[in-house]
Amino acid sequence: MPDTTTKRVLLAAPRGYCAGVDRAVIAVEKALELHGAPIYVRKEIVHNKYVVETLSERGAIFVDETDQVPEGARVVFSAHGVSPAVRDAAEQRNLLTIDATCPLVTKVHKEAIRFARDERTILLIGHAGHEEVEGTAGEAPEHTIIVNSPEDVDGLEVPDPENVVWLSQTTLSVDETMETVRRLRERFPALQDPPSDDICYATQNRQVAVKKLAPECDLVIVVGSANSSNSVRLVEVALQSGARTSHRIDRATEIRDEWFDGVATVGVTSGASVPEILVRDVVEALAARGFATVEEVRTATEDLMFSLPREIRADLKAKEAERATRA
């Protein structure tokens, strides 16, 4: 039985916001500041309920497709990226676009374009229907086959088994993806690797941190929304790495008393689209339940930052020049 007399929290680090999410959220905030409400955003700017609600309160309007945006209005493309078909549709409606696609997603798009140009078949490991996968596959629809899981591999048919390459969604489980690649290579020994990792640094770092603390935890709480791929993966990684139980929650109010029977150590982490304030609320809610000791388990330090989308940088520069002329 765990020693429930010393209740403690192990707080994963890194956790929460990654550079791509930070950039996308600031892009919407700056667009609102520069141009006023409303600013349209295609899809959720990042997969987090709180972020979407907060930006909505400030005047962002979230839509599913560009045909819901009034002709000529300003629209932000989310961090998950868009396919060329979406860009074309926006152009046809004369929309003023701001592209907040994470540069690490753009990198995968560029790889897809290059491999398609070389007439290779791209085996895109990722979840069909996820916006990022739709965007990447949309760069080369004729050359791309989506591989959802290791179990998909046996049923795959490709035009030329000697000319296949794999790419992946940026927010997958590293271990499961490597298992899929292993099975793909068994079926297609000539399978080529992408030039660099597609699973991004933030996804990998958050999984490494949770792997480290999970074996000591009776319960791991992952803060993140249900549609956040990397948050859902953190629950899986926690369980695979030895946590007795794990739950994903959007907010501290979703924590249930019955989760704490016989629990001494609670791990806490958050997905890459989660603001730190939500984690702080969870730590406070745990303290109120007697888990007042908090130890950070750090496995990496992140200092990556991306510059804002070029449309925002151009608008900021123009505003600055206007101010200087008036002064």
| Enzyme catalytic residues | 132
> Rule CB under 6 A: which of 166-225 touch ligand SF4?
170-171, 200, 202-203
Tell me whether residue 125 or residue 219 sits nearer to ligand SF4 (CB atom).
125
How far is it between the farthest Cα atoms of the chain?
72
Residue 48 to residues 88, 144, 175, 248, 273, Cα–Cα distance (Å): 27, 28, 24, 12, 6
The closest of 38, 41, 75 to 58, measured between CA atoms, is 38
Tell me whether residue 52 or residue 272 sits nearer to ligand SF4 (CB atom).
272
Q: Is 168 helix (H, G, I), strand (E, B) or coil?
A: strand
DSSP symbols for 293-312: EEEEEE--------PPPHHH
d(CA 220, CA 235): 8
Contact 50, 250 (CB under 8 A): yes
102 is a site residue for ligand SF4 (CB under 6 A): yes
Site string for ligand SF4, 68-97 (x = CB under 6 A): -----------x------------------
Q: How far is the CB of 7 from ligand SF4 (least distance, A)?
A: 32
45 is a site residue for ligand SF4 (CB under 6 A): no
Ranges of beta strands (E only) in the chain are 8-13, 39-42, 60-63, 74-77, 96-99, 121-125, 144-147, 164-168, 219-223, 245-249, 265-270, 293-298
Tell me whether residue 121 or residue 171 sits nearer to ligand SF4 (CB atom).
171
> Rule CB under 6 A: which of 267-286 touch ligand SF4?
272
Tell me whether residue 117 or residue 310 sits nearer to ligand SF4 (CB atom).
310
How many amino acids of this chain bind ligand SF4 (CB under 6 A)?
15
Residue 226 CA, chain-centre distance (Å), reads 12
> Rule CB under 6 A: which of 287-316 touch ligand SF4?
none
Q: Which structure tokens are listed for 4?
A: 């429930």
d(CA 126, CA 156): 15
20 is a site residue for ligand SF4 (CB under 6 A): yes
Q: Which structure tokens are listed for 16?
A: 């929460």
Site string for ligand SF4, 103-142 (x = CB under 6 A): -xx-------------------------------------
Stretch that binds ligand SF4, among 18-26, 113-121, 149-157, 311-319 (CB under 6 A): 18-26
DSSP symbols for 15-80: -S--HHHHHHHHHHHHHHHHH-S-EEEES-SSS-HHHHHHHHHTTEEEESSGGGSPTT-EEEEPTT
- Which residue has the CB atom at the shortest distance from ligand SF4? 20
Question: Residue 68: what are its φ and ψ, rounded to 5°?
Answer: -95, 0
Among 12, 18, 146, 234, binds ligand SF4 (CB under 6 A): 18
Q: How far is the CB of 25 from ligand SF4 (least distance, A)?
A: 10
Tell me whether residue 202 or residue 278 sits nearer to ligand SF4 (CB atom).
202
Q: How far is the CB of 232 from ligand SF4 (least distance, A)?
A: 13
Stretch that binds ligand SF4, among 16-24, 48-56, 159-167, 178-186 (CB under 6 A): 16-24
Binding site for ligand SF4 (CB under 6 A): 18-21, 79, 102, 104-105, 170-171, 200, 202-203, 230, 272
